[in-house]
A = this chain, B = another copy of it.
Amino acid sequence: MTIGKNIPRVDAFDKVTGRAKYADDLVPTGTLIAKVLHSTIANGLVKKIDTSKAKQVPGVIEVFTCFDVPDIVFPTAGHPWSTNIANHDIADRKLLNTRVRYYGDDIAVVVAENELTATEALKLIEVEYEEYTPLLTIEDAMNGDALHEEYPNNILASTKYNVGGVSFEEALENNDVKIFEDEFEVPTVQHCFMENPNSYAYMESGKIVVVTSTQIPHIVRRVIGQALDIPWGQVRVIKPYIGGGFGAKQDVLYEPLNAWVSKMLGGKCVKLELTREEGFINTRVRHAMKIHIKSAVSENGRLIARKVKMFSNQGGYASHGHSVVAGAAHVVKQLYQDEVATDVEFTTVFTNLPVAGAMRGYGVPQITFALEAHMENVAKEMNFDNIELRKINMIKEGFVDPLNSIPSLTNELDQCIEIGAKHLNFREKHKKYSNQEGHIRKGVGCAIFSYKTGVYPISLETASCRMILNQDGSIQVQVGATEIGQGADTVFTQMAAEITGITYDKVYIMSAQDTDVTPYDSGAYASRQTYVSGHAVKKCGLELKQKILDYANYLKESEIAVDIKENHVLDKDGNKIIHVSEVALESFYHRENSKHIAAEATHHCDTNTISHGTTFVEIEVDLKLGLVKILDIINVHDSGTIINPKTALGQVHGGMSMGIAYALSEELLFNPKTGEAYNGDLLGYKIPTSLDSPDISCKFVEKYDPSGPFGNKALGEPPTVPVAPAIRNALFNATGIKYNQIPLTPERIFNKVKDKGLI
């Protein structure tokens, strides 16, 4: 058994020693450097660009502007293609854009022999704009001129769903309920990947090759094909190790531009690497949202009806567009069950801000902040036990989402809560902290979440795997699924070992994806890989094992080989028949029947299941400084079987850190007049360092989920989700103040404390 064991991360040694190759490590000597010119207005038109001075700089190879690019709009969202045109992502940007839609939009690109020259040349480009008033808020945008003419009032989409068949108002008619109402606001935040997006492109063998830091190589291939209007098979995308993505690299970023520039230069190798500042503004951000919740609750604490209205700030281009707020909206129904009616309306609005896209949790951190803060407010106002209120209403095992049929096949939420509560001695402290005086106070808070695993049935889920047997009985495993720092390669290694019976030290996962040879997989997102791609590994492993057994039986002129364990082929009684390395060697070099053993399999996924979990946190707040300190924090997760506890823990630690920062410090701020970011860099943008981070606890409640390849379900994104509301609820516990907006910066905390007269 390898599943469930703490095998060392397969990439640990290479990453620690610096051996691991990232895109920039692979750039060939003599590669040209491309640098993008960004608009210095947020809304308007490029009237004219004068590149003459820039072109005169020695070492400048070429300058292309928004007037040079093909008249092709393309989508950038990292979604699998759909053969149904109705499901296509919105195609709304060109490689460079004449119509400027955010401060920093891409309007020209310089290619030079080196970075310094390119940077110097950028400064010499003269741009003439026609300027319009920046529309930065949802309100302004909905009352302003359309940024994309197909979307009047800048509404990308507005959708409603109702569960129960009656409206919120109708639901109240025959029910004795209290009404609770809250308005929440969550900010724009950045992923702050360690490695800035970078790629290099060149032409070879009739193809354009792009080596890039992406989560989704096979999708990047397709989008480059679309953007350049060339057959997708003429595009080859290679993804080496990458330094984090968190969803920013689940969008196709500058790869199409990079590819096009190389193509325009006859296939010369051109590198395009973003600066940290571009990383902030020119990639993707998490959607800022406004969320209004109205709940009707019966005296016994049952949610009778809820009405939720959400607005999502999309920024200048569609990217993942409406699906992020849709993902959020569905969680209203997947976390709690209303007895009579659920009315949800959600709207995505274009504004002149940086583009929002996928980010760890895909809308769910936003809605969970609102839902769980609201739940806490309700409990407080009803004087109802806050844990009990959740338990009464939360979904239970066997729940099936009425909107998309996603089931909660296993649900250990109740146990998660109890473990978290026990860890903090929550119930006692919560009561105790409700009545404090002085400016140093403590508080405890909790929040729960639900999170689906992958995107079936909303979208396609498919994954493939190939395994190749070596002469020494070791194997390579190729998956289209991507290691992005999360440990995917390690769990795939364990899965392959588990299934084939070949020990994990002899399983070599091919970490890099190359769309020309690596089997298809849509990539790292939606916490899907261990679940969906894991099934592909399982299926492929079974096929490989069978081929080894068949060959062993051929060698032994028998049918006795039935299983492999610890590199030995076994008979039905578990007796060792032959070592896999011997089978392998013969399969390569047998003089009468050589047969090079490999297997390849696709898993078409038509299942889904819901992960659950909680955060419990204890804080101390200094009311005079407005400063929150985390004293203890724990996440308890029900993610089914844990394949590798240590790497799982790593995921939880990372996710919780992200959640803590979401709660307390991170927010991308903009000049309200110009739309320029105030703090689009690592100095002004407050992402916590390790010294800012508290000790973190984590526990898993493992129950084998029958739909997972090894009983496992989503864990990648969930750890982030419940953290911010739990911290907010702890602050509520400490102060009695409803903070309905994050981040809970000292300024925000102090202002309300002062208003309330607590100091």
Contacts and interface: CB of A to CB of B under 8 A. Distances in A.
Interface in A84-107: 84
A232 B590 contact: no
Contacts of A232: 470-472
Interface in A558-593: 585-586, 588-593
A517 B478 contact: yes
A206 interface: yes
Nearest to A207: B508
Contact of A520 (B84, B204, B466, B588): B588
A471 B596 contact: no
Given A83-B589, A231-B474, A233-B472, A510 B520 contact: no
Interface in A177-216: 202-207
A343 B590 CA distance: 33
A588 B81 contact: yes
Contact of A468 (B517, B585, B595): B517
Interface stretch (A25-33, A55-63, A720-728): A25-33
Contact of A594 (B11, B13, B203, B460): B460
B519 A510 contact: no
A595 B604 contact: yes
B591 A602 contact: no
Interface in A464-523: 464, 466, 468, 470-476, 478, 506, 508-511, 516-517, 519-520
A462 interface: yes
Given A232-B470, A476-B516, A476-B517, A205 B596 contact: no
The size bracket of the interface on A is 35 or more
A508 B516 contact: yes
Contacts of A222: 471
Given A462-B596, A519-B598, A593-B604, A204 B476 contact: no
A299 interface: no
Contacts of A21: 28, 204
Given A478-B517, A519-B598, A233 B460 contact: no
A142 interface: no
A309 B516 CA distance: 53
A28 B19 CA distance: 12
Interface in A1-51: 10-11, 13-14, 17, 19-21, 25-29
Contact of A591 (B28, B460, B470, B592): B460
A405 interface: no
Nearest to A473: B233
Contacts of A81: 471, 585, 588-589
Most buried by B among A517, A591, A602: A591
Interface string A222-265: 10010000011110000000000000000000000000000000
A267 interface: yes
B589 A470 contact: no
Nearest to A83: B589
A519 B596 contact: yes
B83 A590 contact: yes
Nearest to A225: B472
B600 A604 contact: no
A21 B203 CA distance: 11
A511 B476 contact: no
Nearest to A84: B591
Contacts of A592: 604, 606
Contact of A517 (B234, B471, B510): B510
A231 B506 CA distance: 10
Nearest to A606: B592
A395 to B, nearest CB: 26
B29 A83 contact: no
A327 interface: no
Contacts of A464: 596
29 contacts: A14-B204, A17-B267, A19-B202, A19-B204, A21-B28, A27-B29, A29-B29, A80-B589, A83-B586, A205-B508, A222-B471, A231-B470, A232-B470, A232-B471, A232-B472, A233-B471, A233-B472, A233-B474, A233-B508, A460-B591, A462-B589, A462-B594, A468-B519, A520-B588, A520-B596, A590-B604, A592-B606, A594-B602, A600-B600
Interface of A: 10-11, 13-14, 17, 19-21, 25-29, 80-84, 202-207, 222, 225, 231-234, 266-267, 460, 462, 464, 466, 468, 470-476, 478, 506, 508-511, 516-517, 519-520, 585-586, 588-596, 598, 600, 602, 604, 606
